Amino acid sequence: MTVKKFNLPDVGEGLTEAEVVSWKVKPGDTVAINDVICEIETAKSLVELPSPYAGTVAELLVAEGVTVEVGTAIIGISDNAPGESEPAPATASPAVEPAPASAAVAAPPAEPAAEQIVETLMYGKLPDDAGTSEGGPAASPLVGSGPKADAVKRRPRKRPEGAAPAAPSTAQEPVAEQPATAAPSTAQATATASPATASQAPGPTRLGVAVSGLVNRVLAKPPVRKIARELGIDLADVVATGARGEVTREDVVSYQSQRDAEVDKADKFWAASRKPQDQRVERIPVKGVRRATAKAMVESAFTAPHVSIFVDVDASRTMEFVKRLKASRDFEGIKVSPLLILSKAVIWAAARNPSVNATWVENADGNGNAEIHVKHYMNLGIAAATPRGLMVPNIKDAQDLSLKELALALNELASTARAGKTQPSQMQGGSLTITNIGALGIDTGTPIINPGEVAIVAFGTIKQKPWVLDGEVIPRWITTLGGSFDHRVVDGDLSARFMADVASILEEPALLLD
């Protein structure tokens, strides 16, 4: 038996170091080739490392949270000698055989099902919602923890007795011995005991009241509603990323982190002011994505001469178009937002003004001469704020995508970035970037150009404002676009024409059909 050591590799982006964020294995675990053994954070993103060897984990050589250089041994994996390779399947089979017959494995799905019944009554889940999950595997006890939670199979509905799970079976036996006249009072007592109906009128109208109050509510599973209620979040304010347009647990958590970011900072600041003198300053190491972003932004800001322009846009027809797309059968289950129309507008406008889709290259020929490389493709970058810092993944060859394909690509990009699973290759080779600051309620801003590009568009919030149309002041949906450009490549005339073209699409999306 020999122990092979796996050295931290370069993930293909020329990085020199990475932080071991979390281990997915422990000493004694058996791993196969390509099994994920750990997650590392590079200067670009979070990356899962697969095992290059099959065998047993002998030791973990680097602790979680430690940054090491590429080439450093991080794990030791022992391989069995030839004579010892045969018993391996035999030792694994006893662990697998008892699993189907084990009561402990079969029992967990029953408990989440009972919890969902109670949650349904407590938080007003419509009865027909339960039917949508029938037929799915009853495997995951983490109800509502992600998009796959819809697959949880629910048990038949039963009226909760407000007691332990075993209470209904024991409480029903004496009921059979009671006179027939006692049955209604027993049922009424059960209904009164339900926490969901304590504040509503008794009798048959109770369900009608509950249903009528939920007709226009946002789609979300009961556990998600419970989390939102505990956090004081209105689900209507949360952007839904579920497969059927429902709000997921991750959506609520992401919204909460964004909403309370400034409040948390203030709380920490004032809490620190009451600590001893030597603890009043919090030291946060700058590493990984945060360090790489800071370096890139400083280089961009002080290398490329920025010029910024702004334009107010009447996006009322864009809002109407988005509404029609949401109601369209072709876009069923796909998140559609004004960002989709803006993305298409940027692609269209860049085709009319190719020089905004370019790169300035210093010393391109080795003799100190610079070049402008105009790209005849569009890798559209979308700036995404994550807990680890700003990331700008891009959609490859976005110019070739239909509106539906672009919507799917935007959804995947956002969910992947939010989960911290963006790969380095997804952030390489960008052409032009959009930063959607309007999602945070900001009107506009002066963004810094992403390194390697010459233009970036800031998309402000869309809200109703008084607007003069045909000599009359009427309420319209207005947004402000802000664009920053590298003045070495994009002069004032070109930047103005580009922004005017983007604005024209938001004002009249039908131009995309030309």
In this prediction, residue 182 carries a pLDDT of 42
At 382, the pLDDT band (50, 70, 90 cuts) reads very high
Q: Do the Cβ atoms of 381 and 453 come closer than 8 Å?
A: yes
Higher-pLDDT residue of 36 and 161 is 36
Give the mean pLDDT of 209-215.
41
In the predicted structure, residue 291 carries a pLDDT above the cut 90: no
* pLDDT given for residue 145 in this prediction: 40
Residues 317, 252, single domain; the answer is no
Q: By mean pLDDT, which of 337-351, 399-413, 433-447 is the weakest?
A: 433-447
pLDDT at res. 8: 86
Across the range 173-190, mean pLDDT stands at: 42
pLDDT in tens, 122-147: 444 444 444 444 444 444 443 334 44
| Same structural domain, 258 and 321 | no
Q: Residue 97: pLDDT above 60?
A: no
Is residue 334 one of the residues assigned to a domain? Answer: yes
Number of domains in the chain: 3
Cβ proximity of 45 and 420 under 8 Å: yes
Q: Would 487 be classed as within a structural domain? A: yes
Per-residue pLDDT band at 394 (split at 50, 70, 90): very high
How confident is the model at residue 480, as a pLDDT? 96
Please write the tens of the pLDDT for every residue from 462-506: 999 999 988 999 999 999 999 999 999 999 899 999 999 999 999
Helices and strands of the chain, counted as H and E runs: 16, 18
Report if residue 11 sits inside a domain.
yes
- Tell me 240's DSSP state: P
pLDDT value of position 358: 94
- Per-residue pLDDT averaged across 159-179, rounded? 45
State the chain's mean pLDDT as an integer. 75
pLDDT digits (tens, 9 = 90+) for 241-281: 887 788 898 888 888 887 777 676 666 666 666 667 666 66
Name residue 276's amino acid: P
What is the C-alpha to C-alpha distance for residues 365 and 370, in angstroms, rounded to an integer?
7
Same domain, 146 and 279: yes
More confident residue, 64 or 290: 64
Predicted local confidence at residue 317, as pLDDT = 95
pLDDT band at 390 (very low <50, low <70, confident <90, very high): confident
133 and 91 share a domain? no
**Predicted local distance difference test score (pLDDT) of residue 90:** 40
Together in a domain, 82 and 135: no
Same domain membership, residue 112 and residue 96: no
Share above pLDDT 70 across residues of the chain, in percent, rounded to a whole number: 66
Residue 83 shares a structural domain with residue 25: yes
Q: At 260, is the secondary structure helix, strand, or coil?
A: coil
- The verdict on pTM exceeding 0.85 is no
**pLDDT score recorded for residue 371:** 92
Please answer whether residues 109 and 137 qualify as being in contact, where contact means their C-beta atoms are separated by less than 8 angstroms: no
Same domain, 249 and 372: no
State the alpha helices, DSSP H only, in 235-355.
249-259, 261-272, 288-303, 316-327, 338-352
Q: Is 232 left (phi over 0), alpha (psi -120 to 50) or beta?
A: left
The answer to whether residues 422 and 504 belong to one domain is: yes
Q: Which of 20-34, 93-107, 255-269, 376-390 has the lowest mean pLDDT?
A: 93-107
233 within some domain: yes
Q: Give the pLDDT of residue 80.
A: 62
* Separation CA 489–CA 494 (nearest Å): 9
Residues 59 and 144 in one domain: no
In the listed set 283, 305, 338, which residue is the last one of a domain according to the structure? 283
State whether 345 and 411 are in the same domain. Answer: yes
Question: Mind telling me the catalytic residues?
Answer: 487
* Residue 14, domain member (yes or no): yes
Note down the domain range covering 309.
290-513
| Per-residue pLDDT band at 202 (split at 50, 70, 90) | very low
Choice between 494 and 67, residue whose per-residue pLDDT is larger? 494
Q: What is the CATH number of the domain that holds 52?
A: 2.40.50.100
Cβ atoms within 10 Å of 487's Cβ, excluding its own: 14
CATH number at residue 460: 3.30.559.10
Domain-embedded: residue 339: yes
Region for residue 65 given its phi and psi (left: phi exceeds 0; alpha: psi -120 to 50; beta: otherwise)? left
Q: Is residue 208 part of a domain?
A: no
Q: Copy the structure tokens of residue 441.
A: 């309620």
Same domain, 478 and 412: yes
Within a domain: residue 186? no
